[in-house]
Amino acid sequence: MMHFSRRLLALVSMLAPASAMADVAANTVTNAPGIFFDDFHYADTAALVAGGWKIRDQAGHPGIEHGKWGPSTISLVDDPQHSGQRLLRLDARTDGTAEDTYQAQLCHQRKYFEGTYAARVRFADAPVQGPGGDLVVESFYTSSPLKHDFDPQYSELDWEYLPNGGWGNPHSRLYSVSWQTVQMEPWNAFNQVHEEQRALGGWHTLLTQVAAGKIRYFLDGVQLDEHGGRNYPAQPMSINFNLWFSPSGVLPDTKAERRYQQDLAWVMHAKDLVLSPAQVDAAVRAYRRTGVHQVDTVKAMTPPLPSNCDF
């Protein structure tokens, strides 16, 4: 299917004008088997959960130890810039203490492996409430469970934005990270990393291609890096978003509540298809033009894999 799609799109590019090519490209993608698309057009979080998502409510890594995760950190709001569309909002807050820390994580089923992943995400450079400066992490990623330290099957592909810096670097930056494995205590990471060192508050399209032993990361249509080798995923992963505070970067000398928000416009996965940013954008426009808010033709694994939403 992957190679057929490439040949078809190449043929169309030779025979048709750009507008027609965009339409055919969109139809090729939207009619392909193994597509997951969601633009979060839900009335409330109950409908979101019924649509296959899970809102994390279990304590644990990452974030401030013993901090809370729960339903109050996820909401659906009207898109102020696009009438009739909805956004999913992650809302995390802390006063620096575990008892008053609430972090947000949203997960989809663990059934995704090779192909293309993309999401439209609004990063925040500043809190909507309270003083800025905490080491806050805003992310879109795929992962499998870490069964034990140095788990050889562990698979994780990350986009992580740190607006206030941290982890030994004071500058705003966006990470693209492909994981081989990790040891939690003491920390020992085995991965490939790209750092885009600039402030990126606002809307961005994040895209990851996973195929033929290579992982390619694109920001707003521009390729940033290529990873592979031992860092290539070894097993199916879940799709996740989270917003959390690192205990190593909590503001000292204040108990004022700080609150950050990260918005999501849509997310998409094309199983076994290597799609360009332009092809993904065309498919999303086609879905929205025809009023399609959710598609899920990616089959669950047999038997279905646990999707715990706790990491």
Instruction: Render pLDDT for 182-192 as a digit per residue (tens, 0 to 9).
Output: 998 898 989 99
Query: Is 8 or 31 the better-scoring residue by pLDDT?
Result: 31
Percent of the chain with pLDDT over 90: 85
pLDDT at 300 over 60: yes
Phi and psi (nearest 5°) for 174?
-115, 125
C-alpha closest to that of 33 among 274, 281, 301, 299: 299
Instruction: Render pLDDT for 93-110 as a digit per residue (tens, 0 to 9).
Output: 999 999 999 999 999 999
Average pLDDT, whole number, for the chain?
92
Average pLDDT (153-157) is 96
Q: Which residue has the tokens 């099957």?
A: 153
d(Cα 180, Cα 76) in Å, to the nearest integer? 34
Domain annotation for the chain: domains and CATH numbers: 34-296 (2.60.120.200)
pLDDT at 162 over 50: yes
Token pair for residue 303?
């038997």
Q: Side chain identity at 293, as an amino acid letter?
A: H
C-alpha closest to that of 214 among 198, 231, 197: 231
pLDDT at 9 over 70: no
Angle between helix axes 18-30 and 2-15 (nearest 10 degrees) is 160
pLDDT at 227 over 90: yes
